[in-house]
Amino acid sequence: MKNIVILISGEGSNMAAIVRAAEQGRWAERFGARVAAVLSNRPEAAGLAFARERGIATAAISHKDFATREAFDAALAAAIEPHAPALVVLAGFMRILTPGFVERYAGRLINIHPSLLPAFPGLNTHQRAIEAGCRVAGATVHQVTVELDHGPILDQAVVPVLADDTPATLADRVLTQEHRLYPRAIEGWLRRG
């Protein structure tokens, strides 16, 4: 079985979309894949309850309990490893990972970013797209590399930027597409083997 471990920091709406897609798309039967665990750096993350309700293993490793990023990442990896992940999925995981962690999962660590990379890496993507006068925006699923938001692109989704858009309205429209894009990108990764 190809185990997928999803890392979240909050509500976990992308994680929920992936879990539903795995169930509805019969990933276990078609690809020998399943969402094996959902981990969070925030014990109060609402997405953990969703995962538990679906019988998925969960764990919370608070980054606040560690003096360094390296120590947190080591503890996170120790929580991931028992699930023997074929793929580690960052779904709203709001931590910058250390080079050691990224290298450990190289080729099987992916992220979704709310812009059409390589445009607007980092934060405040929707505000920056509006200020730049972009006519389109979107989201990108990419492999994670040591350089933030610069890994190989796996898939993208595009939405128009409307004349009256605010960062919030644009974010809502992009998030709707993220919920379709992320499961599609993971299914593509599984199909390619």
Task: Give the active site residues.
Answer: 113
Amino acid at 44: E
Pairing of strands 85-90, 109-113: parallel
The rounded distance, in Å, linking the Cα atoms of 142 and 149 is 8
State how far Cα 34 lies from the chain centre. 16
Residue 80 CB-density burial (10 A; 0-12 exposed, 13-18 middle, 19+ buried): buried
